[in-house]
């Protein structure tokens, strides 16, 4: 009888490669679930935007999102743009809702997609990577003259110059200028650098003569640019370009009777210089931060006395107000320039003091006066804003409720909706071949044949 060999089969333990594959699948799976949830979020944003839910003192839906959700203003504007676009692009919206396309791909495709071109661009999104999609979209926009015109307008709208102080006290500039303005600035900086170079050269010659050949170290190009910008600013101010205090840049004359100014319900005139009537509340808003001249009239209407012009918020107090508030105090706004708002109007005896003033931008100053919003300073010095219906408008909104396991909540929600999402849901059909953008545009773009 032959001996029998008994062997126990032990399943192999998963190695590092298998474990990493599992992690990769989990990342891909969760990313697809996030994209599907983003589709629902965009649906909600689109409805909220269309129904004007943001119009509670905010300038736009994007401004509300920035305040309520904590999005960067640029990201908030992009979310609103994509949400609006997907309202007319159902195929792209459904692909995002099923987790088949990433938000990055959809965001790029919505820049050029129309109901007529949506299907072919959807195929681009499914076949290529996010980089491929971006390159196709850039080529598409170059072909589309109308898109080029929109791009020019968008670039103009996106012009900006940010000036802020760094931790060490240095002032940092960051901005975007239209091409022609940028070229103008480059030329101006070059001219200023040349002027400074000639000044340094003359100074160096003088130093070499008096100090035996010792000259200053040549600044770097970046340092020369900084010095040139300072020269441009000094030259502009020395040539009388300083616009002065904000209230003096433009002058709007309003004639308002004292009783109407003290009480909007009281009878009396409130008219502009040309006779156009404005509401008494508008006059109260303008009078919050403007020069005023008191005129006394005879019973027949003739002027019998004209007082000296007085400044409602004097320059020194304005500087202190700007330093304290740093911008519009309305929740979620923060625009750096504004108007001094009297919490208790001076027509009611409110003093023109720092404690009775708050900085509000033009939009929110109007909201407080003409749209029923209320603001008051509490004993702790903090401002409290209320909506026209009396509800408190907090400076920082309350955080949203988060489930204990948000990932499980995502998956459960999508399973209940019948969505089948797995690690390969959003995987593109690309096989590694090089992308010929020119050929792709010739095949895809409706205008390429012409």
The DSSP line for 96-158 is: HHTTSS-HHHHHHHTTT--TTTHHHHHHHHHHS-HHHHHHHHHHHHHH-HHHHHHHHHHHHHT
Q: For residue 286, what are the CA distances in angstroms to 129, 279, 283, 342?
A: 55, 11, 5, 11
Contact status, residue 270 vs residue 282, Cβ threshold 8 Å: yes
Strand partners, 176: 160
Q: How many helical (H) and strand (E) elements, i.e. helices and strands, does the chain have?
A: 17, 13
Cα–Cα dist 2/10, whole Å: 25
C-beta of residue 288 within 8 angstroms of C-beta of residue 342: yes
Give me the phi and psi of 384, to 5 degrees please.
-125, 125
Residue bearing tokens 């908030």? 76
If we measure between CA atoms, which residue out of 150, 229, 174, 171 comes closest to residue 196?
229
Other Cβ atoms closer than 10 A to 38: 19
- pLDDT (tens, 9 = 90+) of the chain, 450 residues, equals 555 555 565 566 667 788 888 888 889 888 988 999 999 999 999 999 999 999 888 889 999 999 998 888 889 999 999 999 999 999 999 999 999 999 999 999 999 999 999 999 999 999 889 999 999 998 888 787 666 666 667 777 888 998 888 887 788 999 988 776 777 788 889 888 888 888 777 666 554 554 455 455 778 889 999 988 888 887 877 665 544 444 443 455 677 777 777 776 676 777 766 666 777 777 777 777 777 776 766 666 666 566 656 667 888 888 899 889 888 999 888 888 788 898 888 777 788 888 889 999 888 988 888 888 999 998 888 899 999 989 998 888 877 777 777 778 878 888 888 888 888 888 888 777 888 888 888 888 887 755
C-beta of residue 260 within 8 angstroms of C-beta of residue 283: yes
**CB contact at 8 A, 57 and 397:** no
The whole-angstrom separation of Cα 191 and Cα 25 is 58
Tokens 């109901």 correspond to 115
Using alpha carbons only, give the angle 341, 343, 346 rounded to the nearest 5 degrees: 80
The closest of 104, 149, 57, 42 to 371, measured between CA atoms, is: 57
This model's pTM is above 0.85:
no
Tokens coding 316: 């020194």
Distance CA 43, CA 32 (A): 17
Of residues 338, 245, 254, 344, the one with CA closest to residue 292? 254
């Amino acid at each position: 009888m032959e001996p029998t060999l008994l062997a126990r089969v032990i399943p192999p333990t998963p190695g590092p490669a298998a474990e990493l594959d599992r992690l990769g699948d989990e990342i891909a799976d969760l990313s697809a679930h996030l994209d599907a949830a983003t589709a629902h979020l965009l649906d909600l944003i689109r409805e909220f935007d269309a129904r004007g839910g943001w119009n509670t003192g905010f300038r736009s839906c994007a401004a509300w999102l920035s305040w309520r959700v904590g999005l960067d203003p640029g990201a908030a504007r992009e979310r609103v743009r994509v949400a609006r676009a997907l309202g007319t692009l159902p195929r792209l919206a459904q692909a995002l809702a099923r987790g088949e396309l990433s938000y990055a791909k959809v965001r790029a495709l919505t820049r050029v997609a129309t109901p007529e071109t949506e299907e072919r661009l959807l195929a681009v999104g499914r076949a290529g990577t996010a980089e491929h999609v971006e390159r196709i979209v850039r080529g598409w926009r170059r072909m589309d003259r109308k898109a080029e015109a929109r791009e020019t307008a968008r670039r103009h709208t996106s012009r900006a110059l940010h000036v802020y102080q760094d931790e060490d006290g240095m002032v940092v500039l960051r901005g975007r200028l239209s091409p022609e303005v940028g070229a103008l600035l480059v030329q101006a900086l070059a001219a200023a650098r040349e002027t400074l170079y000639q000044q340094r050269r003359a100074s160096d010659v003088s130093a070499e003569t008096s100090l035996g050949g010792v000259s200053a170290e040549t600044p770097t190009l970046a340092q020369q640019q900084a010095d040139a910008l300072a020269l441009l600013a000094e030259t502009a101010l020395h040539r009388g370009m300083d616009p002065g205090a904000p209230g003096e840049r433009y002058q709007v004359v309003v004639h308002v009777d004292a009783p109407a100014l003290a009480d909007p319900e009281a009878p009396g005139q409130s008219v502009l210089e040309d006779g156009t009537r404005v509401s008494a509340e508008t006059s109260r808003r303008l009078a919050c931060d403007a020069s005023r001249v008191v005129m006394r009239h005879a019973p027949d209407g003739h002027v019998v006395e004209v007082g000296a012009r007085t400044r409602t918020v004097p320059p020194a107090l304005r500087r202190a107000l700007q330093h304290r508030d740093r911008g519009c105090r309305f929740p979620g706004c923060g625009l750096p320039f504004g108007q001094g708002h009297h919490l208790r109007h001076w027509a009611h005896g409110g003093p023109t003091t720092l404690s009775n003033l708050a900085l509000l931008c033009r939009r929110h100053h109007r909201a407080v006066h003409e749209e029923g919003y209320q603001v008051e300073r509490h004993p702790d010095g903090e401002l409290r804003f209320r909506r026209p219906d009396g509800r408190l408008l907090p400076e920082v909104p309350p955080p949203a409720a988060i489930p204990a396991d948000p990932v499980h909540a995502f998956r459960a929600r999508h399973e209940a909706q019948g969505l089948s999402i797995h690690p390969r849901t959003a995987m593109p059909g690309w096989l590694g071949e090089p992308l010929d953008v020119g050929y792709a545009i010739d095949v895809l773009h409706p205008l390429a044949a012409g």
